[in-house]
Amino acid sequence: MSILIDQQTRLIVQGITGRDGSFHALKMKTAGTNIVAGTSPGKKGTRIHGIPVYNSVHEAVRETGADTSIIFVPSAFAGDAMMEAADAGIKLIVCITEGIPTLDVIPAYNYIRKKGAKLIGPNSPGLISPGKSLVGILPGNIFLPGKTGIISRSGTLTYEIVYNLTLKGIGQSTAIGVGGDPVTGLYYKDLLELFEQDPDTDSIVLVGEIGGDAEEQAAKYIRDYISKPVVAFIAGKSAPPDKQMGHAGAIISSGSGTAKEKVEAFAAAGIPVAGVPSEVPEFIASRKNSYKHL
């Protein structure tokens, strides 16, 4: 199995006629994703890579029964695009767009929750269930179907860790980039719970970075509620205080949110933290072995 997406996922690409939307729609389709429609106002009746284009998400959902949407529209319109998807009945919204003003994200986030939908992102590389579905911009060729779930704040670190796992023959059930903005949708605890409930996920890799206290909260949640082996990796060990490192949410302020504090929180919860990405496969294999003997 997998979480959130699989072969039955029916995807809409919002902004499919733009450069990024068109490029990644083809990549996702080639990876086997069931893309049933794209949207772009005023472009109804056209096709992109054989995918029918509609003027609105409401129209696309009505015609195709889509249940998932990925957003590539410009940042000035992305907040409205997220709310349009939720209003049309989309159940999983994946927002790739970066640079969306936080004051646009907050009402969209609240509206999506009110509608009972789930949000991944914004500023997310998306997610993939290898061999089943790709909803995002992740490089599908480095992934291998398997049983290790991945939750990450960093897109590029996800790729590096997955590459190392795949080299060692450790496949992935679902890999998810939660996004690097201060306000995002599904996060560590939400996704840890889904992986815990997935019978075909037998281990979890959590990739964190400096800023905020989400990793510290995740460590406590894992200690109290997760029965499967977990390995962590924390980026930003050399980051200076009060300097944003890459993501908008990756900033240490007032002495909190440091890599040291996050590593200590995982250690206190009994969760090993890899020093470099290439150590993750070894740690996962070791943890799986130890759990077999419990």
Query: Which residues are annotated as catalytic?
Result: 247
Q: Which stretches of the chain are assigned E, i.e. beta strand?
A: 11-14, 35-39, 47-48, 51-54, 68-71, 92-95, 118-120, 126-129, 133-136, 145-152, 172-177, 203-209, 230-235, 273-274
With a CB cutoff of 8 Å and minimum separation 6, the contacts of 150 are 158, 161, 162, 172, 174, 175, 176, 204, 205, 207
Looking up tokens 């994946």 gives 94
CA 143 to chain centre: 14
The 8-class DSSP code of residue 127 comes to E
Looking up tokens 């490029």 gives 23
